[in-house]
Structure 1
Amino acid sequence: MPLALYASAFLAAFLYVVIPGPAFLALLGIGAGQGRRAGAAFMVGHFAGDILWTSLALIAIVGAHVIGETVFDVLGALCGLYLGWIGWSALTARRRAAGEPLLMVARPLRRGLVFGLTNPKGYPVALATFTALIGGAATSLDFLSLPPLLAVAIAGFVAGYLVLIAVIGAPLVRRFYRAHELAIVRASGLLFIGFAVQALWHAAPGLLGLRRA
Structure 2
Amino acid sequence: MTHSLLFGAFLAALFYVLIPGPAFLQLLGIGAGQGRKAGALFMMGHLVGDLIWSSLALIAIVGAKTIGTFVFDLLGLACGFYLAWIGWGAVNAKPKPDGQALVMVERPFRRGLIFGVTNPKGYPVALATFTALVAGSAGALDFEALPMLLVVSFLGFVTADVILIGIIGAGAVRRFYRAHERLIVRSSGVLFMGFAAQALWHATPGLIGWRKA
TM, length-normalised to structure 2: 0.63
Secondary structure of the equivalent of 2:62?
Answer: helix
Give the distance between the partners of 1:126 and 1:174, measured in 2 at CA: 30
Give the distance between the partners of 2:60 and 2:8, measured in 1 at CA: 17
Gaps of 5+ in 2: 66-90, 96-101, 185-213
Amino acid at match of 1:108: P
1:108 is displaced (CA, Å) by 0.5
Partner of 2:30: 30
Partner of 2:105: 105
1:32·1:168 contact (CA, 8 Å) conserved in 2?
A: yes
In the alignment, structure 1 residue 147 sits paired with structure 2 residue 144: no
Give the distance between the partners of 2:153 and 2:94, measured in 1 at CA: 35
In the alignment, structure 1 residue 163 sits paired with structure 2 residue 152: no
Runs of 4+ in 1 over 6 A off after TM superposition: none
Secondary structure of the equivalent of 1:135?
Answer: helix
In the alignment, structure 1 residue 40 sits paired with structure 2 residue 51: no
1:174 is displaced (CA, Å) by 4.3
Amino acid at match of 2:3: L
Gaps of 5+ in 1: 68-96, 182-213
Give the distance between the partners of 2:129 and 2:8, measured in 1 at CA: 10
Give the distance between the partners of 2:39 and 2:4, measured in 1 at CA: 32
Root-mean-square deviation (Å): 2.4
Give the distance between the partners of 2:46 and 2:172, measured in 1 at CA: 25
1:100 is displaced (CA, Å) by 10
State the aligned residue count.
147
1:49 is displaced (CA, Å) by 0.4
Partner of 1:18: 18
2:4·2:137 contact (CA, 8 Å) conserved in 1?
A: no
Give the distance between the partners of 2:175 and 2:13, measured in 1 at CA: 27
1:34·1:169 contact (CA, 8 Å) conserved in 2?
A: no
Give the distance between the partners of 2:4 and 2:128, measured in 1 at CA: 19
Give the distance between the partners of 2:138 and 2:45, measured in 1 at CA: 31
Partner of 2:205: none
Give the distance between the partners of 1:2 and 1:139, measured in 2 at CA: 10
Partner of 1:77: none
Partner of 2:70: none
Amino acid at match of 1:61: I
TM, length-normalised to structure 1: 0.63
Partner of 1:132: 132
Paired residues for 1:56-95 under 5 Å: 56-63=56-63
1:33·1:169 contact (CA, 8 Å) conserved in 2?
A: no
Give the distance between the partners of 1:174 and 1:127, measured in 2 at CA: 34
1:151 is displaced (CA, Å) by 0.5
Give the distance between the partners of 1:12 and 1:173, measured in 2 at CA: 26
Amino acid at match of 1:152: V
Give the distance between the partners of 2:34 and 2:175, measured in 1 at CA: 15
Give the distance between the partners of 1:103 and 1:149, measured in 2 at CA: 37
Amino acid at match of 1:45: G
After superposition, the C-alpha distances for 1:31-84 in whole angstroms (9 at most, x for unaligned) are 1111101000001111110110000000000016xx8xxxxxxxxxxxxxxxxx
